[in-house]
Amino acid sequence: MNPLLQALGALGGSGSVEEIYNKVVELQGFSENVLLQLHDPENSNDSEVWYRLAWARTYLKKYGLLENSKRGVWALTAMAKGIEDVDPHEVVKAVRAMDKKDAAAKPSTPPAPDIPEEDAWKQKLHVILTQKLSPAGFEKLVQRVLREAGFTQVEVTGRSGDGDIDGRGIARIHGLMRFHVLLQCKRYKGSVSSGEIRDFRGAMVGRADKGLFISTGTFSPAAIKEATRDGAPPIDLIDGAELAEKLKELGLGVRKEIVEVPIVDEKWFDEF
């Protein structure tokens, strides 16, 4: 809880979940090995650090020190100003006492982590991609996504023994410029490390303009830093959450349903 409050203070009092996570990692100096530890490897991409920060947000919000907007931005409340640290045990005790007064809550059940319900579909999709889809099936899915996104001459070469290269294609920019792109696609339940980014870059040097690393998991802060390192061939990263959004955008395996909500127009009846 206190690292979270410190991170928000360093960010100017507000920040997205990702910004808060990155600032906590920076201020606490967590090693890559710590950040690669998953909370529930079978069902989620969430690292243990990410999961605990979700719990911390939940408790601190109920305690009155945090608030969040529909856009996913978290901010310190007026009550939090001047508070540099809290006693986590006291916060938990106070929040559970509040829950006991709520007739709809079970006295012995603490609040659930603040994971948006609208993201439940992403967790279901993650299970399908990592547990039900075969490695070959995942590569064919990525090939389809790239073609739908405007890539041409997309080839999947993951099983050809071509080093760390799983595929290749040509990205067209505004129909004028073309970039040869080498592809790495991995079905991961955790985070991709910086070492794997370096291995991919080593395999692509001198062979393409850019690299694209697509993973069902996440990328560690060190991996993200390595992908954008100055003087090195650029590598774009697409993690599991971004892949899910792209599948939804393209309508590939994810449908968007509009629920009809009847609304009574009282003024209309005034005419009678």
Cα–Cα dist 60/76, whole Å: 10
Does the pLDDT value for residue 184 go beyond 60? yes
What are the two backbone dihedrals, phi and then psi, of residue 34, each rounded to the nearest 5 degrees?
A: -65, -45
pLDDT of residue 159: 58
Going by pLDDT thresholds of 50, 70 and 90, the confidence category of residue 241 is: confident
Domains along the sequence of the chain with CATH: 2-115 (1.10.10), 123-250 (3.40.1350.10)
Q: Which of 255, 207, 213, 220 is nearest to 236 (CA)?
A: 213
Q: Identify the DSSP state of 42.
A: T
pLDDT of residue 108: 53
Distance, C-alpha 74 to centroid of its chain: 16
Does the pLDDT value for residue 104 go beyond 70? no
Vertex 208 angle, CA 237 and 145, to 5°: 45
pLDDT of residue 79: 92
Asked if 171 and 181 count as a contact pair (C-beta separation under 8 A), the reply is yes
Asked if 225 and 194 count as a contact pair (C-beta separation under 8 A), the reply is yes
Rg (CA), the chain: 23
